[in-house]
Structure 1
Amino acid sequence: MNKENENLYLQSLENKSIQEATFSNLTHADFLQQINKKKAANLNSVASSSSCPPSNTFTTEQINKKIEEINQYVCEDNVKINNSQLSVGTIIMRQAMIKRMDYQTLTPSDIALVNCGLNCILDITQGSLTNQRLLFSKEDWSQIKTLFSKSPIDNNFIEARPAISKIDKLFRNPHDMEESYWKSKSYQQKASNSKEKLGYELISIIPSPSEADLMIKVWADIFEVLFFNTGIYIRWQVYAYFTSTTKIDLYAYIHRGEKGLITGDTDRVMFKLDAKLVLIYDENEYPVSCVEFAPYSGPKKIKTDRSKLLVEAKALYNQTMDLNVDEENESILKIVNIQIMGLEAHVVSVKLVDDHLYVANSIESYMIPSTGSQLKKETKAIIGHLFDFKVQYTLDTANIIKQTLNDKKKTKKSMKRKIEKDVKDEEPPPPRKTKLASIWRYKTASKK
């Protein structure tokens, strides 16, 4: 091959690579454009639904009477900040009880506040939009976070995003971004021959990813590999009865998405979960963690899914404690759930800190790499985050459950020996130091 032909060949390769790069950019631009349209439509639907007239109306006399009753309520916790007359649990519970009176017309933030407040959960997770911080002064809220926060600053989310400076640059120069987009559009015809154009049109009509896409194509494989040979398995799209450890498939009985309400420990409640991690031990299932999925991140998902996960964590905590966990394990027990939005993962925990008072904390946040260059840079850190979720949190809870069940077996054997020897003077088990609170759930009107 002579020099001239070689130059022509290299030039053709360069042109081809430019066409392919332009083609790839165009497909990604249209893909993101469709996602943004879906986001805008969802936000508009939320705004329209929040403007609906109230379904329940109360007279002024009824409201005043209800508020008087609420003002008499005192939570059983003893956590008071800066010598306040009211405990933290009392403050968040009273506000939730007031908001609950008109639940169906509340904004997502207020719904999250009610869900957490009525379950005595103090939400100090990062990115939380329950607005519980508005119930306290800045000084009191700062002291609360100092008392209960895992750490004042969690840099994992920043560390997992080395391209954050590029993102910042795009937001600071929106005109350049828009100009680049339309310039890319103008080269669309040049960058697409017959085969490429067909591929482009096929890709451009693909809808934005759904929850099922993310669950099946991305996270299912991750969880299956992560918990392989640990005794922990995944239950997808299940319903939970909060007053029973029995898990059944309710698709034959109830349509997807129906919620339940619990007002006491004896009420039967069901609520759909995207996924549960369960420990299989002695032919029984014991849930150790819950997962909620969403196709993308957004304020509504942060509010509704986050508060839902926190209530789920409290329910799992209570179920685990009902196994009669000993004092040593009680001091370290916390339930850790994971909220997934697209490729982003937010890990949150719930722990009982006083009578009827639970605290929700952020553990860490990270993003699964979506490009080859990100994969090279971030794989080690992401694997570390995933193994933290597995070893330090999920397996810890599973080990506490197994140890408690094994201790109960030993106690039964010991009791059997004592009965055989007619030993009647048995000491009762030591009382639990902190008291658990019942679960509250909102329920939609039942359909006949």
Structure 2
Amino acid sequence: MIGKLRAILPDLTPLRVVRDFRLLWFESFVMGFAASMALIAMPLQIKELTGSPVAVGLIGAVELVPLLVFGLYGGALADAVDRRKIILFTEAGFGVLAVALLVNSLLPQPLLWPLYLIAGLVSALSGLQQPALQSLIARIVPHDRLTAASALTFISSQCASVGGPALAGVVVAFAGTPSAYALTVAAFPVAIPLCLKLAPAPPARETRRPSLRDVVEGVRYAGSRPLLIGTYAVDVAAMLFAYPVAVFPFLAEEVGAPWALGLMYGAIPLGAMIVSVTSGWAGRTRRHGRMVVLGAVGWCLAMTAAGLTSHIWLILVFLTLAGAGDMISGLGRNTIWDQTVPDELRGRLAGLEVLSYTCGPQLGMVRAGTMAGLTGIRPAIWGGGAAGVVAVGLLALALPRLMTYDAATDEDALARKAQKEAMPTGDG
């Protein structure tokens, strides 16, 4: 029995042996919980101020351009300067913006435009921070434990994403949005000291000012690898067509269950967390490309089903299944990136990675909000899910390298493993 449990439970080795990964894991949990509180409170506040699904979906459009610009620049920056400094700078910026959200919510008549401005600035800081975070983890964790590290990172974020929305729904319902923002602000005195304890993480190449040439070099490398392009394309397609989170407040009202809004937001990360805590099998998988495709199809099918039913508990079940599919796809995607990208390009490729898994949801929010305004809430959900199934299927046919990827024989994965074994792991 114990052996069977060990086979499915996540591998805790990265937490035990890599000090900086431990620090990043706990910091990610604290900030993930805080961020999810704010991310739920903001659309609810916009809904209260406007009553418009289009206005809520517009958050995605506002966040898109800063994410594109700063995600690419953040990738080049992560390859040129100390990644620890980037993480500290951006965390401080997030703290200032959280205070601004709190102050605006305490006004006698909260303003709408600061919400969009802050959403754009948060997106810009995320674009700067995420490549540094992801490339740092890929550097400090041993090569054969990268899938385990991805699973543990997802566990941290998904636990926060389950608890944060559920708590945010209760807090906003009974104490208003200022209380949710106040809890977000309270997390920073805990998270920033954890970042200060991280060891310096200087660049792997000779330091120089990040430039457009560096960004282009990263894009060219990704463009020369159909495997990487496939993982990006599948993720963007699934999120573009089947990410209806922006219309959840309106769906909850339509099915007569406004009390379940927090549960709806928490159901997707709950499904992801279930996969994460039973992810022991993933470390023994070699066909990560198939995980990417099949998980994305599962996400889209579950969203289609959620849009076709009017029973709130069935909707929650299907949203949970969608989260499970997304996590399977995400584990495969992260493993391929971490196994095949050389360290000197890791920051820039992490910038493209950030764009792929965040631009899709931003565009999906715009699509869902716009389509809901034209066709209604339910068609915007099930129609997008069905379109996502078709899009992912066509991409799988067009990119056979993705379906045939094998970590044990892929040339880039083997070269990266040799490079990683020649570097310090940051154990201790």
TM-score range, shorter chain: under 0.3
Give the TM-score, by structure 1 length.
0.23
- Taking CA–CA contacts closer than 8 Å with sequence separation of 6 or more, which of the two structures ends up with the larger relative contact order? 2
Greater percentage in helix: 2
Which one has the bigger strand percentage?
Answer: 1
What TM-score do the two structures reach when normalised by structure 2?
0.24
